[in-house]
Structure 1
Amino acid sequence: MELNLTHHPICINETVYDGVLEQSVELDYMLPDYYPGIFKVLKCKMTPKLHAQRVNGNKLILEGVALAHLLYLSEGDNTLHMLTQKLPFSKTTELKVSCENPILSVRSKPGFVNCRVVNPRRLDLRGAVSYDVQVLEQRDEDVISDAEGNGVQLRKRSFSVCGKRKTASKQFTLREELAVAADKPAPETILSARSAVSIGDFKIIANKVVLKGELILHTLYADADGVPHQMEHSVPVSQIIDMPGVDEEDTCVIRTDVIAAELEPMQTDTGSILNMEMTVCAECEAFRNETVQLADDAYSTSFETESVMKTMKAEHLIACINQTGLVQSSIALSEGEAEEIYDILCDAVSVNPRFTDGYLMLCGDISAFILIRNNEGMPQVVERTFPFEIRTEYQEEDAGNMIADVCAAVLSSQYTLSGGRVDIKAEIKLSGSIRSTLRLNAVTDLTLDTQRPKERAHAAITIYFADKGEAVWEIAKRYGTAVSAILEENSLDSEILPERAMLLVPLTD
């Protein structure tokens, strides 16, 4: 009888690149005439914004803009001013193999910047942007899931494994005329703007993902007298992202980032407004578990058999995280250091997953940029870092083989000044996936030597004394019979013997 083998593909993620990419940026800048000269630099910060990421064959290409923000005091009147410059960058690196179906994970790291004031109208900036990058190549590995003919026996195992991930991204622009509250003075200049998109709900339909949420904008501006003021705005977000192959059975991770922001104060007949234009990048990654059956051992009751075995690593999706969390901290300032707080901006600078008491905890640090008026009446910047810990909704007892690929971003922050301490509350959005790794041993090919028939016992039934915990499969393989025959002959319910027993091992064709 002809041997018929049935194969089934299993998605394997091969790590093609896992490392840190760094790109230096430089700027020699002369202030335009409409900017006042620099008396003192309060803060210089470099923020990378990734506009494009792609794999072309064996090359990984990152393209973006490094935003250099310089907060300084002007000559003469010591008023606050913000200077922002865009420094384009491009980074290309070679991968060890050419990719056909890659998955990219690119996470920005805190970079560095050095600012040297050559003279009141000239700046020399030197810095670098860094990214944690992982490139996975998704490929199918065919394993034997069933066989028929020539007395072939398979030891089958069932596993829930994650299939090929689907990814899609979309860049879109939000434009709004934002009203300045009537009790606020008119903005003269923008000192800083923090924006983030919070996706409150998303829905998966055939080949599309529908997103709904809001853009949260926090603006610090100076009025005509140079006095800082704050504003808060919320802009609705509704987008449809095309994602071929996705449907209701998939689970998605949604990540968003504001990659470009423009704010311009204007006066109208009805009052002051801010002309806002924000470019947002939304990324969707879809996962789906499927149950696969594979054989991890094989033999024939009729012929000598040669099996090709392969060990492979697959993944199982535990959960997708799209949630927010609130963190709090109390920061001490020097005695009498702050007469007033103009603003506080918070950034999540690191995120490390940890499993504690069966729960996934996301731990990290938040950097707080505190702009104050000191006891001498001068603007001053105080920087502090405080830890945070957020418990997710996922619970797991055995976390030894877990992968938590989760990133955090600050949506908003609030503060109160009391005595010499600042109490900060920050809302953080968490997005990512939790997966487990499975080490699979599978039969990928099977060959029968029809010239070497299996030696068979002369007796129709063999008596075998089995030990507790012994596997019926090993007994059947040793005697060249079928597992089902031993189970039926001995009225066994389990393939693992619960105690010592005398078994009747029948001979099968």
Structure 2
Amino acid sequence: MEIKKENINLTERNVKLNSNVMVEGDIIVPDIKPDIREILLADANVVTQSSEYRGGKLYVSGNVFFKILYRPDSEGEGCELKSLDASFEFSDSVDIPSGEDLTFFVCASTEHIGFTLVNSRKLSMKVIAALGINGYRERSFAPVTSVTGDDVQCREKRFNIYMPVADEQSDITVSDFLTVPADMPDIDEILKVDAWASGGDCKIMNGKVMVKGTLHLKTLYTAAQDGYTTELVCHEIPFTEIVEAEGVDENCAAGVIFSVKDVLASAKGDINGDTKIISAEILVNARVKASKTVQETICDDCYAIHGAMETETEKMELLEYVASENTEFTETQSVEMPKNVKMKNVINVTAKPILRETCVEDGALHMRGTLVSFLLYREEKEDGQIKCAVTETDFDWQKNVPGQGLIADCDLWVEDIAATKLSADEAEVKATMGLNAKVLKKSEIDIITGCTAVETDEAEENRPSLVIYFTEDGDTLWDVAKKYGTTVEKIQSANGIETDRFSSGKKILIPRAC
């Protein structure tokens, strides 16, 4: 009897969980800034800086960066909007038993932001930061792949094993000088820069992934030409970067999700002395996830025709690839003006998707979440002020995926956002979101790691040369052949059948193997 074995190295994701952290603190208005009359918009960006596992806990630290847009309490000075920048540090621990040999990756997002204006110089902030935690472990198996011999039958089974190969994060600094169009007024003060990255094209090299994307920037600024006005200018910056990703090769599939961690922007003069240059430096985080599907054939079962076979087994957890989806979808919101408020024009719109649940149920993949949009607009009256409308809508993206016991791994991001005035009472927001989803089947199997032929006391001449058998529900040719010490081929030949499964009560002839 000849036994062949093969080493299989797997990267298992043993931990996938979400945790929320409450981050609180006060923002004090600097002396150079005017008092706050009204908060129009409070934006928060959560960034993780480090994670460390010790003593059964994962310790995570990071920062929350705030951008506050407010109406100053300084009538007669002309400027109708001002902005504040601030940041808080945070740290948290998450209970994860038996995680000593895991490699952890943590990503963060803003789940909720709230604020209270304590007084005109002090703002109390509360942010719920959502942490997504993945923990990976390397495992090796040596299953029996085949057993051969004159007296041995071996059943092989093929698996399409899904293996995570890399989950790496790399920070990219993108710098550029951006020009304000000639027909727009000079910059007096930059209030806020909204930035997001789209694209996410990947080119795989050995141990590296080249990522390409496009940064979208919306710069809100004040201009002092012919009285103070509030202006918006848009730019795009393409960028390319190489991310180190150990273990990645041409057999892998890779995807990248970009998130903007920080934006630094300042106004500069051009060669004519006009303040029409924006010096921008954007810190972008690129999270590269690579995987591959490997076809492995192992010995699923074996037996000896004459005698018995003892097998050694080990449990092996598998993720089998089922399907994937990389697409875009558009979510449309209707933004209605408050009572007695009319809209003159839209100034700017930003949006954030919050992914709350991914699951496979009733034959469909679901991605459920909430789209939160922030619409800046001006009132339709002579001294109309700038207002902000916050709108939340739930979405449920679906894709038919047949099968049972399936799980999903999904990522979601904003590709584009736009707003249109429909009337003085209503605006329409359209957010195009990109998604990447993989559907997997998680199962635990017993793999054969060794087998030994064992002699029995039963004499060969005592075995009947022919058995008449009435099948039961669930019977297979393999099960029947193994039970009566013959081969699948002999049963098929004796009965003129090719099917592998039977309905209950079918009579078949089982000849003895020679």
Are 1:483 and 2:488 counterparts?
yes
Residue number among 332, 341, 345 corresponding to 1:328 in the alignment: 332
- 2:71 maps to amino acid: L
Match of 1:255 in 2: 257
Change (3 A) 1:257 1:457: farther
How much has 1:230 moved relative to structure 2? 0.8
How much has 1:233 moved relative to structure 2? 0.2
For the 8 Å contact 1:12–1:313, the answer to whether it is kept is no
How much has 1:231 moved relative to structure 2? 0.8
Match of 1:117 in 2: 118
Match of 2:70 in 1: 72
Change (3 A) 1:126 1:494: closer
What CA distance in whole angstroms lies between the structure 2 residues aligned with 1:485 and 1:453?
24
Are 1:379 and 2:377 counterparts?
no
What CA distance in whole angstroms lies between the structure 1 residues aligned with 2:443 and 2:459?
34
How much has 1:38 moved relative to structure 2? 1.7
For the 8 Å contact 2:8–2:141, the answer to whether it is kept is yes
Aligned pairs (5 A) from 1:185-196: 185-196=185-196
SS at match of 1:165: strand
* Identity fraction in percent: 20
Are 1:179 and 2:179 counterparts?
yes
SS at match of 1:261: strand
- 1:93 maps to amino acid: V
Are 1:36 and 2:34 counterparts?
yes
Structure 1 length normalisation: TM-score? 0.87
Are 1:427 and 2:432 counterparts?
yes
How much has 1:422 moved relative to structure 2? 0.4
What CA distance in whole angstroms lies between the structure 2 residues aligned with 1:463 and 1:79?
95
Change (3 A) 1:327 1:450: closer
- 2:92 maps to amino acid: K
What CA distance in whole angstroms lies between the structure 1 residues aligned with 2:477 and 2:172?
61
- 2:47 maps to amino acid: K
Give RMSD over aligned pairs. 3.2
For the 8 Å contact 1:7–1:146, the answer to whether it is kept is no
What CA distance in whole angstroms lies between the structure 2 residues aligned with 1:351 and 1:501?
55
For the 8 Å contact 1:253–1:322, the answer to whether it is kept is no
Aligned pairs (5 A) from 1:49-198: 49-53=47-51, 59-77=57-75, 79-100=80-101, 102=103, 104=105, 106-118=107-119, 120-148=120-148, 151-198=151-198
Are 1:284 and 2:284 counterparts?
no
What CA distance in whole angstroms lies between the structure 1 residues aligned with 2:334 and 2:128?
31
For the 8 Å contact 2:110–2:127, the answer to whether it is kept is no
How much has 1:416 moved relative to structure 2? 1.7
Change (3 A) 1:20 1:31: same
Change (3 A) 1:464 1:102: farther
What CA distance in whole angstroms lies between the structure 1 residues aligned with 2:295 and 2:104?
22
How far does the alpha carbon of each residue in 1:306-335 deviate from its partner, in whole angstroms, 9 at most, with x for none?
Answer: 434555442123445443333322222235
- 1:365 maps to amino acid: T
How far does the alpha carbon of each residue in 1:370-402 deviate from its partner, in whole angstroms, 9 at most, with x for none?
Answer: 2233356233322111234556xx653x14333
How far does the alpha carbon of each residue in 1:256-291 deviate from its partner, in whole angstroms, 9 at most, with x for none?
Answer: 111111111122223311110001111111111112
How much has 1:254 moved relative to structure 2? 1.2
Structure 2 length normalisation: TM-score? 0.86
What CA distance in whole angstroms lies between the structure 1 residues aligned with 2:87 and 2:471?
74
How much has 1:62 moved relative to structure 2? 2.9
SS at match of 1:182: coil
- 1:507 maps to amino acid: A
SS at match of 1:334: coil
Match of 2:10 in 1: 11
Match of 1:503 in 2: 509
Aligned pairs (5 A) from 1:268-307: 268-270=270-272, 271=274, 272-307=276-311
- 1:244 maps to amino acid: E
What CA distance in whole angstroms lies between the structure 1 residues aligned with 2:28 and 2:64?
18
Match of 1:237 in 2: 239
What CA distance in whole angstroms lies between the structure 1 residues aligned with 2:7 and 2:468?
36
Unaligned runs of 5+ in 1: none
For the 8 Å contact 1:289–1:317, the answer to whether it is kept is yes
How far does the alpha carbon of each residue in 1:338-381 deviate from its partner, in whole angstroms, 9 at most, with x for none?
Answer: 33333222111235446699764544321111223335623332
How much has 1:75 moved relative to structure 2? 1.6
SS at match of 2:143: strand
For the 8 Å contact 1:195–1:217, the answer to whether it is kept is yes
Change (3 A) 1:308 1:288: same
- 1:437 maps to amino acid: K
SS at match of 2:478: helix
- 2:394 maps to amino acid: P
Change (3 A) 1:137 1:338: farther
- 2:263 maps to amino acid: A
What CA distance in whole angstroms lies between the structure 2 residues aligned with 1:452 and 1:474?
20
SS at match of 2:483: helix
Change (3 A) 1:249 1:80: same
